A and B are shown apart, each in its own frame.
Chain A
Amino acid sequence: MLRKEQNDLLTQTGPGTPMGQMFRAYWLPALLAEELPENECPPVRVKLLSERLLAFRDSEGRYGLIDEFCAHRGVSLWFGRNEESGLRCPYHGWKYDVTGQCIDVPSEPAESGFCKKVKLKSYPLVERGGVLWTYMGPPDQRPPLPEFEFATVPRDWSYMSKRFQEANWLQAMEGGIDSSHVSFLHSGNLESDPLFKGAKGNQYNLSDMQPHFEVVENPGGLLIGARRNAEDGKYYWRITPWVMPCFTMVPPRGDHPVHGHFWIPIDDAHCWAWSYDYKPNRKLTADELAAMRRGEGIHAAVDANFRPLANKDNDYLMNRAAQKAGLTYSGVEGIAMQDASLQESMGPIVDRTLENLVSTDNGIIMARHRLMRAAKALAEKGVTPPGVDPAQQRVRSASVVLPPDQPFKDAAKEALTVRPGVGHASV
């Protein structure tokens, strides 16, 4: 459980909040690069950390992320004309460049210099690994660009998707570090989903429904290990890294692509669930890509606004017959929507004063502990939070079989580190 003030601290990310300040210390995924596919393409509305913004790509291919509303009369610039190196408000013709600088006010004489006095709030927007990343913090504290491995491999070695989730970012993220739910909620998918089935590790998973857990602090966040018995007295470990504030990587299965998530607050009641898949040593196959595009694995089939086709308006296409037959555990199809449906059922912001955590929830408890500690240190002493340093982002998940007496963090040290061109340690 959390006290109400702790729950508020962790779940509120708008301007001026401690957790909002912390999120603004990181580069965050803002859009898929394909959302701005060409120069002078239509602009896209973006809400992040409770700020209404507009993304556009100008005539020279420069990306901009600016205040959504024209400084003149407050019109949404989503209606604007993306032309001649700027976005022009359709109401009275005021025009802005990608930095938010007003560069033309047709009603005023150019010589007056009036437009130079008008500048919208803007944030940098940079493409990396098929994702447009933004940094919303103080410009003088802008960190180096992100170095998560999926974003550094050739483009055809990775796949990225995002889906709209109607819940606070924290309850979605906590699902990603809660390893114990997999044996229940997703049990129907391990041997049927094309991006999961066939791995030897699945047998360890399915034959031991009560894994033991270890939670270890890492410079950028946590390593969460789930161990099950393997042959000859050894342990089968599935190790999930969590990089603060909201990045996770799921342990691999066989030679399947490796996947993970970011959970980015839109506002306090909604978030973007970003999902990536990649291989560090090969292209994704046509079959793998087709499965991801269909919404299999950790991805979801979505509409043009990235809202899942199975959503709260259609009761997530609940199938009680499939639930009863054991084809799905919850009656909802697909790993992503199995998670999202339950997380949304908690309400927009779950009241954690009512929860009853158990000892296997220590990954969640430790993550909250580290988030609160880091937010406080940043707010009170200006301490850069863990996970900002790109070196702390170069982590991997792993699934390995180890002798019983070794700390997984050390025994699997190499496996948990990015090694360019080398595949994940996987069972």
Chain B
Amino acid sequence: MESESARMTTAAEARFRINAPNSQPRSVKVIALDTPSQRVIAQLAKGKWNRTSFFSTATSGNSIQLKDLSGRAFDLEAEVANANLVVMIASSGENSQAAGIIGEACKDKRVMTTALVLGSEAKTDEALSKTLAQLRPHALMVVIASAEEYIEDMLTALRA
């Protein structure tokens, strides 16, 4: 007699997979850590997203303020509190100091963090090292991408 595994792994059986949503939209906060990255998120924000918000940062001492694309201010703690994932966008060689503050807020709230570094091929290894040193302690996943469109693909893949 055919085994259960053999019967259940056919293409015919695959047709009976339940076709119903198996997750709710995630809340994703995409935060540009520096000026060049702000241009990237401004472009990204034109796309159609589920529950994704895009912010830039303004640092003042040991605190930062989030600003949306229209310049409205938002509280970091409050935004992180209702996030499932925080994506930080950094440009190689730029100051990514804000990652520390955002990372701490995410750690407190047990929110996942991902950092994307752009433009590394145009910068020196030292510049990339500097950026990575600022990001690494605060991001569970770091991606060094050569193409800006990767961010869109990544957010789509994550159902952002």
Contact = CB atoms under 8 A, between A and B. Distances in A.
A214 B143 contact: yes
A213 interface: yes
B11 A368 contact: no
A374 to B, nearest CB: 12
A407 B136 CA distance: 10
B153 A365 contact: yes
B101 interface: no
B11 A405 contact: no
B42 interface: no
Nearest to A345: B9
Contacts of A346: 9
B157 A410 contact: no
* Residue from B2, B125, B129, B141 whose CB has the most chain A CB atoms within 10 Å: B141
Interface in B80-138: 85, 87, 112-114, 125, 128-129, 132-133, 136
Contacts of A216: 143-144
B118 to A, nearest CB: 11
Contacts of A345: 5, 8-9
Contacts of A347: 9-11, 13-14, 17
A224 to B, nearest CB: 10
Interface in A280-318: 312-316
Contacts of B132: 405-407
B49 interface: no
B78 interface: no
B3 A357 contact: no
A314 B22 contact: no
A96 to B, nearest CB: 34
Interface in A336-370: 341, 344-349, 351, 354, 356-362, 365-366, 368-369
A33 to B, nearest CB: 32
A71 interface: no
A313, A357, A362, A368 pick with most chain B CB within 10 angstroms? A362
Interface residues of A, number: 43
A313 B141 contact: no
A345 B8 CA distance: 8
A67 interface: no
A313 B136 contact: no
Contacts of B5: 312-313, 315-316, 341, 344-345
A362 B14 contact: no
A404 interface: yes
Given A351-B14, A366-B145, A212 B22 contact: no
Contacts of B19: 354
B141 A212 contact: yes
Contacts of A404: 133, 136
Contact of A269 (B11, B153, B157, B158): B11
A205 B156 CA distance: 31
Interface string A361-388: 1100110110001000000000000000
Interface string B1-33: 011111011110110010100110000000000
A76 B4 CA distance: 33
A405 B132 CA distance: 7
Nearest to A213: B141
Contacts of B142: 212-215
B41 interface: no
A166 B140 CA distance: 34
A185 to B, nearest CB: 17
B144 A213 contact: no
B6 A312 contact: yes
B145 A359 contact: no
B159 interface: yes
Interface of A: 1-2, 166, 210, 212-217, 269, 312-316, 341, 344-349, 351, 354, 356-362, 365-366, 368-369, 373, 404-407, 409-410
Given A215-B141, A405-B132, 7 more contacts: A214-B141, A312-B5, A313-B5, A348-B14, A359-B114, A366-B150, A410-B125
17 contacts: A214-B141, A215-B142, A215-B143, A216-B144, A313-B3, A345-B8, A347-B10, A347-B11, A347-B14, A349-B11, A358-B112, A359-B113, A361-B157, A366-B143, A368-B157, A369-B153, A406-B129
